[in-house]
Structure 1
């Protein structure tokens, strides 16, 4: 088993609490901006393309740099990377808060995404590095609960700040509030953090970094922008180029590892038993990513619910997503490795129940509150159970020395999943909808899309069961000239 020299540090929970801020802020700023978009559009008179760019610039830069952000923590220290990312995120938030034009705001959002990708993976990476095995389940549960809290806080806090109009700042307050928060975290966090990193830390693989960013951009940018742009030729060309770029990236990384270098992504990591299936489950888990967009469209376009009320409808989901991770240690003790497919199974039950409720509700009639709240709570609770157990399935298969690398890979996979979900399942929704935009057509298209999400989750749950039946903690089936970074490899952690 890997050596865990830092696991008994008495400050580990205080350290982890500080690092969790880095996991909380990125999803918070994603949800909070959705609430503020109408105010931003009115203030700037922004075009629809600029409005879309406020979202896509953040999502795109965040997704393509997560692997690099995780590796920076491995090489130079996870605390150092966290504080660097946090300060950069605060600076970017300040730029957004004082933006004088839509495109200045877009530039600030891009910088937010870039710095969030440096800060976000460090909490997940540190779980493997600082906690003993007996405490990892609770730490991962708290990590998962942060996402539920961010979802609830983003919807509610955005509306409150804009309504209060503090210092006549309006929507700008949702960005500027990050500045005092960052200062407080730095003041209290710097004395607490004990640095962890890979013992054989060397210089960053700059060529691998560039290739990874180009590869992920070739995949993610057309998925984010393609549908709204009418799927132009460049989007298809970019998607076709992505596999070739991925092959070139992995080939370069393999050769660098054989030469004894320090690759951004050591391909030996991906050969850890069961890791491929775990990452595929991650890719399927966030097929639910398009649910929020499509359900908002259904609520506002088919039921004519106002935006604030539409945001409040999601609260049962957020509560479930908050409570689910806190229940994960219990389900892990009872179900063991089957906790993840159990959580995904709950999501399927909630999704199918919601689709059935929409299908049987007469056109123009509001959804029954109690069944709706129960279905949304089950979806959120299931997601809250599935996410931390999945993260343990992924990070528990490699040595702590590369936990930042694998945290970046896992987080990037979830972002890719969200983009694929919006592009593919969102595309199915609009294809079924066609030229009709009446409530009946919208409801029918929404139901079809929900069944597509349920199918993806069912495949993921099936893979989770197969992985539970063969945990795959054996040594690699054959030796490779690159390092053995599997969970049984000797730890290089200090």
Structure 2
């Protein structure tokens, strides 16, 4: 993809770039505002999931889709968006993407239902895919070779800040509850930024396109999108619907469609008059093939971790969104530190930098598992911060240089197409990771429910004895508590009240016991036993899900060893990560 290729190169013909006009910094601000919002909207929704689930009555599968479909739509539009900018003009496609993203953000904020929100997130992701590839090309044609490294460094900082500030900014906006908007503020915050960027973009961004750009591969883009949606959609919602036939059919179709995409692109690659999305000759490059695998596996780890992390703190341990966001701040800050220091590490270690990064992530995730196992239902968020800081440092060492290291091993004129495909599979990895981690997490909440409720029984029995209940009455209450908790943790919507719980509450309210005793029993069950069991259940389930991240980062570390050995000085100066 020529547009991304242009942005990836740090040298350009002498006549490229505006060396004198102050407007170039306005152009940069507009372009970076788009990157910031795109990265922000990848992570800001994580901390809002419990709030929007409660407000919209969404199921687990639906809140997973709120996150996953954005990344999936983003991935499907990335390579196509770059080619559209090459053909029709980067400024034009960028502004169309910005307008669509702003409108989609307004629709997300106003969503009356989970289905409407999911549809709006798809539109938001598609528009992100239009904007993202244009930014590096706009920087390339706006700045001289001398100033370009500074502009690219600011680009990298915007990617990092957008990712880092997402959970904290999201928690703060929800906690502020401006004009009663609650979680909706995380989308409305894009509106003023988007409108200002549109106004300045129309006035200041120069138009540019790729000379001799070839036509769009619509058929290839359609096959690729169909294959990816056939894979992700059933993974996200199949469990909730007990794996109906259509979900299994889609899962079976997805590898066939992706294979057909490869066959079709291979056929186009052999014809001089055609322009494939992905020239299949790239797959002969070991760096590209291994790099794709590393990207999809690695990016299946971090976002899926934070989805379950925020669900555990907020639903399991009653943290507010802002408190949960603050706990994650150590991870975010150390990502920034690791990113800033990664260039120096790359100069010394080259490809091994990625292995160091994944190794630190493995240590951090192991620390999270150990902390959860040790603390159990007595977990305090601050206890996770040291492990998250180690993981964050590893994330910085990996995210910042990963694209440059992978592309440094590619000796091909199709480096732009390679970079576009890498960015695509990173977003696909995010969607797959969220889907798989969701299946594991929500399944474990159900299967661990009985053990979690049993852990709360000793204290419950003591409280019931203090309330004056006989042993027979205590046995009846504890049995009812366990039944209700089991049913609550195995339903699709944790905010709902299962029939068994409603029936038990009614029986207790109509029982012959004095009102004072009923109140003591109610307080013992709902005020102590239920929160204790919920904490134990979420802590145990989250601990077990983190082994998914251990697998992702461990496999990434092994795959890094399969990359071609390169000299540190050959690594391209590229802002890394999706």
TM-score above 0.5, yes or no: yes
Which residue does the alignment assign to 1:9? 17
Which residue does the alignment assign to 2:372? 358
Match of 2:385 among 373, 385, 392: 373
Match of 1:242 among 237, 251, 254: 254
Which residue does the alignment assign to 2:195? 183
Judged with a 3 Å threshold, the aligned counterparts in structure 2 of structure 1 residues 325 and 134 are, in CA distance, closer, same or farther, namely farther
Judged with a 3 Å threshold, the aligned counterparts in structure 2 of structure 1 residues 349 and 133 are, in CA distance, closer, same or farther, namely farther
Which residue does the alignment assign to 1:267? 280
Q: Does 1:219 align with 2:231?
A: yes
CA displacement at 1:398 relative to structure 2: 5.7
Which residue does the alignment assign to 2:132? 120
Judged with a 3 Å threshold, the aligned counterparts in structure 2 of structure 1 residues 276 and 7 are, in CA distance, closer, same or farther, namely farther
Which residue does the alignment assign to 2:167? 155
SS at match of 1:5: coil
CA displacement at 1:321 relative to structure 2: 2.2
CA displacement at 1:376 relative to structure 2: 0.9
Which residue does the alignment assign to 2:357? 343
Partner Cα distance (1:467, 1:137) in 2: 26
- Report which stretch shifted further, 445-454 or 188-197: 188-197
Equivalenced residues, count: 473
Partner Cα distance (1:151, 1:282) in 2: 17
Judged with a 3 Å threshold, the aligned counterparts in structure 2 of structure 1 residues 452 and 43 are, in CA distance, closer, same or farther, namely closer
Q: TM-score, length-normalised on structure 1? A: 0.81
Partner Cα distance (2:341, 2:358) in 1: 14
Q: Does 1:202 align with 2:214?
A: yes
Judged with a 3 Å threshold, the aligned counterparts in structure 2 of structure 1 residues 40 and 460 are, in CA distance, closer, same or farther, namely closer
Which residue does the alignment assign to 2:399? 387
Which residue does the alignment assign to 2:77? 65
Structure 1 spans left out of the alignment, 5+ residues: 475-486, 488-494
Which residue does the alignment assign to 1:480? none
Please say if residues 69 and 121 of structure 1, whose CA atoms lie closer than 8 Å, have aligned partners that are also in contact.
Answer: yes
Partner Cα distance (1:133, 1:366) in 2: 52
Which residue does the alignment assign to 2:292? 279
- Report which stretch shifted further, 127-136 or 5-14: 127-136
CA displacement at 1:197 relative to structure 2: 4.5
Partner Cα distance (2:405, 2:140) in 1: 12
SS at match of 1:228: coil
Please say if residues 18 and 185 of structure 1, whose CA atoms lie closer than 8 Å, have aligned partners that are also in contact.
Answer: yes
CA displacement at 1:386 relative to structure 2: 0.5
Judged with a 3 Å threshold, the aligned counterparts in structure 2 of structure 1 residues 235 and 27 are, in CA distance, closer, same or farther, namely farther
Instruction: Determine which structure has greater relative contact order: mean sequence separation of CA pairs < 8 Å that are 6+ residues apart, divided by chain length.
Output: 1
- Report which stretch shifted further, 331-340 or 428-437: 428-437
1:59-138 matches, within 5 Å, as 59-123=71-135
SS at match of 1:199: coil
1:448-459 matches, within 5 Å, as 448-459=544-555
Q: Deviations over 1:60-117 (max 9, x none)?
A: 4233323322332343344433222111101222233344555443332221121112
CA displacement at 1:304 relative to structure 2: 4.7
Please say if residues 17 and 140 of structure 2, whose CA atoms lie closer than 8 Å, have aligned partners that are also in contact.
Answer: no
CA displacement at 1:251 relative to structure 2: 1.8
Partner Cα distance (1:127, 1:333) in 2: 25
Please say if residues 377 and 539 of structure 2, whose CA atoms lie closer than 8 Å, have aligned partners that are also in contact.
Answer: no
Judged with a 3 Å threshold, the aligned counterparts in structure 2 of structure 1 residues 215 and 336 are, in CA distance, closer, same or farther, namely same
1:165-184 matches, within 5 Å, as 165-167=177-179, 169-184=181-196
Partner Cα distance (2:176, 2:385) in 1: 28
Please say if residues 289 and 418 of structure 1, whose CA atoms lie closer than 8 Å, have aligned partners that are also in contact.
Answer: yes
Match of 2:331 among 317, 338, 354: 317
Judged with a 3 Å threshold, the aligned counterparts in structure 2 of structure 1 residues 34 and 358 are, in CA distance, closer, same or farther, namely closer
Please say if residues 372 and 379 of structure 2, whose CA atoms lie closer than 8 Å, have aligned partners that are also in contact.
Answer: no
Which residue does the alignment assign to 2:505? none
Which residue does the alignment assign to 2:40? 28
Which residue does the alignment assign to 1:460? 556
Which residue does the alignment assign to 1:408? 420
CA displacement at 1:343 relative to structure 2: 1.6
Structure 2 spans left out of the alignment, 5+ residues: 453-534, 573-578
Judged with a 3 Å threshold, the aligned counterparts in structure 2 of structure 1 residues 274 and 36 are, in CA distance, closer, same or farther, namely closer
Judged with a 3 Å threshold, the aligned counterparts in structure 2 of structure 1 residues 13 and 239 are, in CA distance, closer, same or farther, namely farther
Please say if residues 70 and 404 of structure 1, whose CA atoms lie closer than 8 Å, have aligned partners that are also in contact.
Answer: no
1:411-430 matches, within 5 Å, as 411-429=423-441
Partner Cα distance (1:398, 1:127) in 2: 23
Partner Cα distance (1:197, 1:176) in 2: 32
SS at match of 1:342: helix
Larger radius of gyration: 2
Which residue does the alignment assign to 2:347? 333
Aligned alpha-carbon RMSD (Å): 3.7
Partner Cα distance (2:179, 2:538) in 1: 41
Judged with a 3 Å threshold, the aligned counterparts in structure 2 of structure 1 residues 417 and 60 are, in CA distance, closer, same or farther, namely closer
Judged with a 3 Å threshold, the aligned counterparts in structure 2 of structure 1 residues 67 and 224 are, in CA distance, closer, same or farther, namely farther
Which residue does the alignment assign to 1:479? none
